[in-house]
Amino acid sequence: MLSKDGITDSTKKFNKLFFGIEDCDEDEQRKKIEEMNGLMEEMKQKELETILIEKLFNKISIKIEEKKMSMENAILLLKHVGYYKALKKISKLNFNGTSLDYIFVRMILNKATKNEEKNEKLLIDLCKCFALLKDGVISPELLSICVPCLLKNALMKDKREETQKEVEIALLGLSDMGYCYFRQELYLKEIIEIIKHQQKHRNLTKLAYQSAWKFFIYIYSNDYILKDMIVNELHFGREAARELNELTRNVNWKKKKEEMSKEEAKDEFILMRWLDAINYYNSFCKLWNEECVELIGSVVRVFRAAKDNHSVISNQCIYPLRNATENRVVKVDELLKGGAVEAVLEEMQGRTVDDGMLFNCLQFFTNVSEKLKEKEKDEKEKVKRKAIKRKIFEKMEEEGYEDTITSFYGIFDFLNRNLSLPFNELSFNISGYFVYV
């Protein structure tokens, strides 16, 4: 139970173990650290936030400098700090700018310069910790060291659980580096090999595989030549749909988030990361195939499953659906086949909708309407387009779409003025939202 100062029995025990470390020999230190790692696994987000503070990192750096904690033991602790930072969704870790931050930078650069084989494992571990702990952009110099080290570690084919855990941590660290800037072609071969090997052997953990795709998608989706590989060779649509469907089956949607087991909470975390990657893909990838229709259907299933007890996930689903309507290569009939049109209608009518969700739902239908107003030169396409328009119109009429839009008329101005979102303003002309045959 969380006290007024945010301290729980778990956090008290963690702090007691940590401050008693310097009085132990290395083996006893390791046992205490393993116990601390176990405590972090059980802690809730708010508990972790009370211990993963700047003071902790500065204390660790002092223990290292004074040789009261070996670097190996510090890495054992910090690797798990970074890992649970990700799993518990701690947005800011207070690691940046600490004395420990500077120690890691110095050691990584030093070990990379020496380039000795005996330093390789230590260098990889340093890079893992640094990638997981660091918030924001990493310098090009450090990226040029960390990314190859982590990819090399992630390429290990050993199926043992211990090895695969290290691979998972390496790929998790890499996945957030997609936001950084470096020469893409340097790492293309390795990440493709990791994804292809997983598709053939299925030996990676779910989080490791998602992290590999996140790294790949964020770096290469804007490369025109590689888009064909992403869509037609590596089959992003098929793979993401398969993973999403399995995760959807694993989560007990009747439970509220706080009632979930550790395994269910981790599956939910991975599912959210897939939704982020799919959202990015739907926004920027300009190739589309039948597998992507299956992907839309998978997002819709999550959308519906999550809406009662997991509004954060449900709200996350609207973005890839809306962005699909903004992608010029996505056809309206594909959105129909995937169930997106019906699902968004249900969302608008089925419960109290918050402003952000409402805005995105209305934007979804605005974009659908605009797509259906586009001119077709080919006669067959004109006939097909007319049939789709009729189907959409009937669905909207059947579901009371006109009444729904009219009921929101009075708050359009509020949404336009108060939602600081990078979308086109909603029109006051309600007729603009309807599809005429």
Provide the pLDDT confidence category of residue 86 given band limits of 50, 70 and 90.
very high
348/100: higher pLDDT: 100
Contact 108, 142 (CB under 8 A): yes
424/413: higher pLDDT: 413
pLDDT at 424: 46
Mean pLDDT, all residues of the chain: 85
pLDDT at 430 over 50: no
pLDDT at 163: 94
Which residue ranges make up each domain of the chain? Answer: 221-330
Per-residue pLDDT, averaged over 241-248, amounts to 96
pLDDT at 406: 58
Nearest to 279 by CA among 221, 192, 339: 221
pLDDT at 6: 57
pLDDT at 205 over 60: yes
422/367: higher pLDDT: 367
pLDDT at 187: 84
pLDDT at 81 over 60: yes
pLDDT at 189 over 50: yes
pLDDT at 404: 60
Helices 71-87 and 161-175, packing angle to 10 deg: 70
Per-residue pLDDT, averaged over 393-422, amounts to 59
pLDDT > 70 fraction of the chain, expressed in percent and rounded: 84
* Amino acid of residue 3: S
pLDDT tens by residue, 302-353: 999 998 889 899 999 999 999 999 988 888 889 999 999 889 888 877 656 6
Contact 89, 144 (CB under 8 A): no
Contact 102, 134 (CB under 8 A): no
pLDDT at 96 over 70: yes
* Amino acid of residue 180: C
pLDDT at 268 over 70: yes
pLDDT tens by residue, 24-48: 999 999 999 999 999 999 999 999 9
pLDDT at 57 over 90: yes
Provide the pLDDT confidence category of residue 437 given band limits of 50, 70 and 90.
very low
pLDDT at 289: 87
Per-residue pLDDT, averaged over 72-77, amounts to 96
pLDDT at 286: 79
Instruction: Rank 2-16, 179-193, 265-279 by mean pLDDT and report only the highest.
Output: 265-279
Provide the pLDDT confidence category of residue 1 given band limits of 50, 70 and 90.
very low
Provide the pLDDT confidence category of residue 104 given band limits of 50, 70 and 90.
very high
pLDDT at 139: 87
Per-residue pLDDT, averaged over 133-154, amounts to 91
pLDDT at 114 over 90: no
